[in-house]
Structure 1
Amino acid sequence: MYLLGMRFLLPLLAFLLPSVHGQWKVDEGLQMACNQTGSMDSWHQRDDAQSAVGDKCAMRFNVATRDQADADEFCQLYAPWRFEKAVREDAGRPTVTCHVEATFTCRTGWMQMFGYCFRMPDKNLVANFTDAQDICAKEHGVIAYMHHRYIVGVWRRFFHGVSQVWVRASETWDQYIQKTNRVDGDALALAFTGIHYNFAVPANSLIKIDPSIRLQVLCQYKPNNTAAEVSYLGRRYSEIYYPVVQTDNGILVRTASSYTRSSKNKDMCKKAVKPFMSYISGPFLSNKEALTTLRQTNFPLTWMYRAGVDSDQDYKALSSSQIQQSCSKHFYVMNDDGEIWSTPAKQSTKCTMLSYAINTLQGTMLYQMPDARSLPMWCALGQKVEFKYRTDDGYTLYHRKNGEVVGHKLVTTEVTYDEAKKLCMAEEGLVSGVNSDDEAEKMTEIAKKAGLDTKQIWLGGKRRAECNQIDGFSEDPNSDCGRNNVIMWEHNVATAFYDHWWRNGEHHDNPSYWKGQQNCLTLVVGSPAWSGSITAGFLDDISCASKHPFFCTKPADIDEESLWGKS
């Protein structure tokens, strides 16, 4: 049995008490415990809110344990974060080092235990059961729940000096309920000390009593899920399922069965991760970083997998006896929010080669394969992060499909392009870019609300210098001077151009580079005279020396309070 002197325990608990100040990206309770145990040399702080690795510490205790199981039990009782391992040593004095990870972060004043955050609003406050519920609700929490077999001991050690508190628990705890024979009822409570002026029971008793009795209040809330927590769950799932693969913001899980292209990738992945009871972000997005991770992971026997990529060609049409004259050249990955990745197919793609596979023997590469081939599939299991964002006054938030959140601000003063750049930079912004039809539509609405019904407004794009010697644009779509490459977004304010974005004139196609003077880019609002009856498209190249209103943009900031769980 482990032995721990009270002379050490009491100072530790004192330092575990929450501080007044803190920051959302660190779990303060673990940091303070790590410091108090003299273990800060092992402290590892998470990189940011979306890091797949949480805060970590290897906490050292001078304690003797019987065996490894005893050491594991000790660590779960005295270091109640996500348990990794316990290391026993005896270099003249027996020690146990508890390796733990805080996968969540708790609000300032709350303590993380077994994946939940706990707090006593006021140790001197007592309330009946109904009032206790209201008190916790005001703290954006609920009455504490007995989630873990060790949690009673952890509460007793952390909330030192507490007598009796209201709690909640599942029916499996009913076998431990003690009768008071005086005030029994239907409200569950935990008596750390059994002596109360309304009843007397043994210490550490679980009781059901009259809800009008007044006891101390212990609240909890479940913090928002994190990539670090998903990674932890993935490690646990690997113990009973296929090994998972770690990615930047979650894990990859492979299906047990094999599938052809006739199966819907997203639906198959939802079935594959259903036992994990966590958010399914969709089929595996085969980006460079994830493919590198797969290449470094050894999977015996299986070396090919179906990638989570679809074609926009209808599968039933391909299965018909009718010969297909042409096939779509667009592949994509979908999740619940729509398309999140796309790529053009090879020009030689056949109608029966509209699938992608991952080949781990050839350096882990993507290649097109027959639709009828049946392979296991990788699925991405991760947390759908729902942040709230804020930006400066005058800026309108816009959520891009690629995950970026930006703010756009319309300035109606008419200036040259270079002047617009200076004015945006003066408030730490850039001239805006456009990443989708929807974003252009929202910016057009902003302009029309400001009374700019027919206007051209500066955007942050400029013609490539190497293309100044050609008229308009190259007919070769792969050329740097092709229609959708000849103008580039400055400072990466956006990522691409598309043919249908250009507003053509009645007698010319844009970008026209008229008289070799139109090096800059504008958003077209309304129908200027030069476009005549043509209303499709919203971009036009124009002289940088002309004067127009402009949009400024800057990335939105995460509202830190949105990272906190509410119950």
Structure 2
Amino acid sequence: MPATKASLKADDKRRRKQTMLFVVLFAFLLPVSNADQTIAEFKAMNDKDVDESALRTCWIMGGSQIEEVDPGNVEKGHKCTITLRSPTVDNKHAKEQCESRIPFYIIDAKPGQTTSCTYQINLKCETGYWQIKGKCYKLSKAKTIWNESACVKKGLSNPRVADFHHGISNFFADMIKIVDAWVKVPELKDYFENYSDGDQAFYVQQGAYKYDARPGDLLLDDPTHMHHVLCEYTPPMTKAEMYYIGEVYSEIYPIKVYQDGAVLPSASYVTIKQTIPDTKQEGQYTTEHLDEKCLSIGRILNIESYPITAIEGEFNDVRSYLTDHRFYLTNAFKNQGCKGKDYRQYNQDGTSLPIFEGDDKKKNEQVCKAHSFSFHQNDRYPSMSAMRAPVICTLHTFNWNQGECPEPPAWSEPVIKHVRKNGRVFCHYINNREVETQYNANKRCEDYDVGTLTGFDSKEEFLKIVAKLKPVYNGPFMSVDDKHIGDHYWLGASSPCTVECGKEDGGTYVASWEDGVGSGTKFLNDYDHAGGLHDWVTIPDVTQYITFRLDADALHIHLVDDFPYMFFICGRSAPLVRSERQKGKIATK
């Protein structure tokens, strides 16, 4: 079936008439062109780190140069001033004319016999893309049948088939060499009167004559026919964009731009949620609903926004903006546990990074009772689950990564690095040659900056470490103070259980990981216990420690004096390092 021009409904016919009128008046809107300078010369003269299509727009429309919005402060973005030949009568009319021809923020418009337009350049598209109204567009080189996955993923851009709507279609003519291309039309059935199931839409420009259509028309075609594809993606937010949004919306939201992003508190008070209220066990908590709170604020501003994370680096960045002696919630939460390392936080990409690093031996009733986590200008604070406060939303994604594992001490085997399912990078250090008491083993881990006695999130991670356990004895067997060692290794877990203790059947686990070294409480309690020879039983008011016995391939539970000396394994999260921040994006519709 050849491509056919579809009948438009009444509203779109009116738009078509308006478009025809626009074409008639187009000559009056033409800019004063830059005929005395080539694009190469213009680029050489304006050697700025700005979007390619914004620079080309400035050249095409006769702009003389790209300037900084705030002279000497490149973080505020760049601007270009061009002149349209069309006369305008007042500032409102001038801005409307500028906005009809320039797909960027208009920050100044002057009326007169000719119209002066100054537009701001904040975002930056990848090379080869054309920026229109905060999105980046590119025509595919190859033709293809209709396929929603036709746009090839490249780098961080993750392009998709472009949405077609009248707010941007007038600017497609500025793009080079669009003959015809598949586009995605929301509510396609409502757009065309003679839509047939399976039809898809494509946009025509230079190839309009082939279909007896006008440039800019939208047509229907069989999805098995071949066309180019118009692709789009949303560029990362920049600091210039944050400053601009902060200024425009300052009367609605108190947006503060800081070193690596921007923050704004929610107008209403919120609290963390309890997901499993149960009289038999302490409820489980979540902060996922805070994501929606920040996203809803972002939709008003047409940006993506997420709750701030609770790590110390983020707090130090924003603490000077925490005013009015108020507390602000973060996205961190805790179920059970009495230490800072028992807190969890999940970012929108699913990664979970530690709130506290290094030695964290704080254990007190305030932490035990706390389940949320807040910022105050003075410090970071564990907070009660019922605490109601604004949540701090950020206009960026997480800019901290976990770096490389620290080098192992001389007594350790080569460090073993494991990336857990939640994205956390964990480092394990095995001592196969020396034995220590449980206390001294922990102290040696801390003294050499390799964390504390280790833990695991999964059987996969556990077996990866077990494969490297090769105890070295001083003779056929080892003994210290006449105490047999066997193949025991100290681990960072103890009983009674204090963290993530609730079973699905309503019972309680015997043991749990300490100091945030693992969260796989079920794996810890369900792994083989040596055929029932070492059944795990909680002893009230008595601390028992979990060990691994290599020759029995079993996790054992012991009083601290049962086997005072053992080999040991240390573990810690990889250190947090600043990376180039991947800013939040302008919200997609």
- TM class by smaller structure: 0.5 to 0.7
CA deviation after TM superposition for structure 1 residue 341, in Å: 0.6
Q: Establish whether residue 374 from structure 1 lines up as the match of residue 388 from structure 2.
A: yes
The one-letter code matched in structure 1 to 2:33 is F
TM-score (norm 1): 0.52
Task: Note the C-alpha offset of 1:272.
Answer: 1.5
- Corresponding residue SS for 2:354: strand
Compared with structure 1, are the counterparts of its residues 194 and 174 closer, same or farther at alpha carbon in structure 2 (3 Å cutoff)? Answer: farther
The structure 2 residue matched to 1:113, chosen from 123, 126, 132, is: 132
Aligned residues: 413
C-alpha RMSD of matched pairs (Å): 6.1
Alignment pair present for 1:190 and 2:208: no
Give the gaps of 5 or more residues in structure 2. Answer: 1-24, 276-284, 456-467, 480-484, 493-573, 581-587
User: Secondary structure of the residue that 1:221 maps to in structure 2?
Assistant: strand
CA shift in 2, pair 1:209/1:438, >3 Å: closer
Aligned: 1:8 with 2:33: yes
Out of 152, 157, 168, the residue aligned to residue 184 of structure 2 is 168
Is the alpha carbon distance of 1:98 and 1:214 closer, same or farther for their aligned partners in structure 2, counting shifts above 3 Å?
Answer: same
Letter aligned with residue 41 of structure 1: E
Matched residue of 2:169: which SS? helix
Q: Does 1:219 align with 2:172?
A: no
Q: Which amino acid aligns with 1:375?
A: A
Structure 1 90/330 Cα, relative in aligned 2: closer, same or farther at 3 Å? same
Match of 1:28 among 33, 52, 56: 52
8 Å CA contact retained: 2:39, 2:59: no
Partner of 1:269: 290
Q: Which residue in 1 is equivalent to 2:67? A: 41
Alpha-carbon displacement from aligned partner over 1:135-190 (angstroms, at most 9, x marks no partner): 7559986554314x342221112326x55544332237965x699xxxxx944233
1:304 is matched with 327
What is the rounded CA distance, in whole Å, between the counterparts of 1:500 and 1:407 in structure 2? 16
| 1:337 and 2:357 are equivalent in the alignment | no
Distance (Å, rounded) in 1 between the aligned partners of 2:575 and 2:333: 34
1:163 to 1:328, Cα distance in 2 relative to 1, 3 A:
closer
Distance 1:284 1:167, change over 3 A: closer
Q: Which amino acid aligns with 2:201?
A: L
Taking structure 2 as the reference length, the TM-score comes to 0.51
Give the letter for the 2:67 counterpart. Answer: D
Match of 1:50 in 2: none
Question: Given that residues 193 and 202 in structure 1 are in contact (C-alpha distance below 8 angstroms), is that contact kept between their aligned partners in structure 2?
Answer: no
Name stretches of at least 5 consecutive residues in structure 1 with no aligned partner. 48-52, 180-184, 315-326, 386-401, 411-415, 418-430, 445-452, 457-471, 488-495, 503-523, 539-552, 560-566
| SS state at 1:196 partner | helix
Match of 1:157 in 2: 174
Matches within 5 A, 1:327-366: 327-328=338-339, 330=341, 332-335=343-346, 336-342=350-356, 344=360, 349-350=365-366, 354=370, 356-359=373-376, 363-366=377-380
Equivalent residue, structure 2, for 1:256: 268
Over 3 Å counting, the alpha-carbon distance change for 1:119 and 1:377 in structure 2 is closer
Q: Is the 8 A contact 1:245 1:253 kept in 2?
A: no
The answer to whether the 8 A contact 2:309-2:330 is kept is yes
Give the deviation of 1:98 after TM superposition: 0.5
Distance 2:331 2:392 in 1: 7
Q: Give deviations 1:213-238, integer Å, cap 9, x for gaps.
A: 776x3521325755769958975996
Once residues 153 and 131 of structure 2 are traced to their aligned partners in structure 1, the CA distance between those partners, rounded to angstroms, is 19
Matches within 5 A, 1:76-155: 76-81=99-104, 83=105, 85-89=106-110, 94-102=115-123, 104-106=124-126, 108-121=127-140, 130=145, 143-147=161-165, 149-155=166-172
Letter in 2 for 1:105: C
CA contact (8 A) 1:407 1:556 kept: no
Change in CA separation of 1:338 and 1:8 when aligned onto 2, cut-off 3 Å: same
Q: 1:62 offset after TM fit, Å? A: 1.7
Query: Structure 1 counterpart of 2:130, which letter?
Result: M
Q: Provide the C-alpha distance between the structure 2 equivalents of 1:556 and 1:313, rounded to a whole number of angstroms.
A: 28
Q: 1:241 to 1:433 in 2, by over 3 A?
A: farther
Instruction: Give the aligned residue type for 2:183.
Output: V
Which of 487, 490, 493 does residue 536 from structure 1 map onto?
Answer: 490
Q: Is the 8 A contact 1:266 1:282 kept in 2?
A: no
1:205 to 217, 220, 224: 217
Query: Cα deviations across residues 110-155 of structure 1 (Å, max 9, x unaligned)?
Result: 2232343323345xx8x6x7279897559986554314x3422211
Instruction: For 1:218-257, list aligned pairs within 5 A.
Output: 218-222=229-233, 225=236, 231=242, 242-246=253-257, 248=260, 251-254=263-266, 256-257=268-269
d(CA) in 2 for partners of 1:284 and 1:554? 16
Structure 1 residue 281 displacement after superposition: 5.7
Identity of counterpart residues, as a percentage? 12
CA distance in 2 between partners of 1:207 and 1:406 (Å): 54
2:451 corresponds in structure 1 to: 498
Contact 2:406 2:450 in 1 (8 A): no
Q: Which residue does the alignment assign to 2:401?
A: 403
1:56 aligns with 2:77: yes
Q: What is the match of residue 396 of structure 1?
A: none
| Greater Cα shift, 269-278 or 58-67 | 269-278
Output the CA distance in 2 between the equivalents of 1:261 and 1:207. Answer: 49
For the pair 1:527 / 2:471, whether they are aligned, the reply is yes
- Conserved 8 A contact 1:310-1:332: yes
Q: CA deviation at 1:101?
A: 1.4
Distance 2:577 2:363 in 1: 39
Alpha carbons 1:312, 1:330 under 8 Å: kept: no
Change (3 A) 1:349 1:57: same
Residue 296 of structure 1 and its aligned partner are, at CA, apart by 3.2
Cα distance change of structure 1 residues 90 and 269 upon mapping to structure 2, 3 Å threshold = same
Amino acid at match of 1:258: V
Instruction: Give the partner amino acid of 1:30.
Output: A
